[in-house]
Amino acid sequence: MQIRILGCSGGIGGARRTTAMLVDDDILIDGGTGVGDLSLEELARIDHVFITHSHLDHIACIPLLIDSVARHRSKPITLYATVAVLRILQGHVFNWLIWPDFSRIPDTRNPFMTYRTVAIGESVQLGGRRITPLPAQHTVPAVGYHLDSGIASLVFTGDTTIQDKLWDHLNRIDNLRYLIIETAFSEEQRDIAVASKHLSPAMLGRELAKLKRPAEIYVTHLKPGDDDVITTEVEHFAGQYAPAMLRNGQTFEL
């Protein structure tokens, strides 16, 4: 299993792209603006899209993806998310007002897009790859994802704040190799981090102390303009865990 980072910023501007990860060539984890850098041929190979939550920086390119490639495909693209997240997408995105309802185009028997619900702790198996939703705590219904090749695992927290349930799951993963965890705001903006249910560097340090297994740790979702400050503060508050900043184009092999 190969995971390619298409976007990992908390915003746009310059070369920044928002959250999206391509698993092999047929699975997306979130669909932020990084998806737009793929070629039409690459987009057409995507069969499955797993969504952490409904915020725009994580879903912006999903409607455009479906519209761009549907006519070039022989089967629908499947969107995977919790019941709560799918209800938000159906009610506020694929509602004919913001974007067409591709679950009904060309018709309900032959749609360009289908929905599949997922639940925390319940795995989806796709060709030997196991994808499992994990607990997250955010301002809207949200999950993280555990990607397991059978040889090694990567966990992506999605957007989340301080909570213990995630670490209960993580500490039971025997083959954990990589952890990608968000830290959106600097300590100067800690109040915003708390209000928006993100992490700051000091909060990150306290959360990483809950991890009882070895893993390579990567920090994602830094807000534009504060990248350098957040990086410095992460080193100060969490340097003992040797976190690195996630980069666009980075790949992970499992």
Token reading at 7: 């976007």
d(CA 174, CA 165): 17
The whole-model pTM stands at 0.97
pLDDT, residue 10, reads 96
The reported pLDDT for the residue numbered 128 is 92
pLDDT at 166: 97
Predicted confidence pLDDT, tens digits, the chain (254 residues): 999 999 999 999 999 999 999 999 999 999 999 999 999 999 999 999 999 999 999 999 999 999 999 999 999 999 999 999 999 999 999 999 999 999 999 999 999 999 999 999 999 999 999 999 999 999 999 999 999 999 999 999 999 999 999 999 999 999 999 999 999 999 999 999 999 999 999 999 999 999 999 999 999 999 999 999 999 999 999 999 999 999 999 999 99
Helix H segments across the chain?
40-44, 56-59, 62-69, 83-92, 165-170, 190-195, 201-208, 227-238
**Burial (0-12, 13-18, 19+ Cβ within 10 Å), 33:** buried
Q: Write out the residue range of the structural domain in which residue 246 sits.
A: 2-253
The CATH number linked to 80 is 3.60.15.10
**Tokens, residue 57:** 């920086």
The pLDDT value recorded for residue 169 is 97
- For residue 153, the model assigns a pLDDT of 98
Domain count of the fold of the chain? 1
Q: How far apart are CA 79 and CA 65, in angstroms?
A: 12
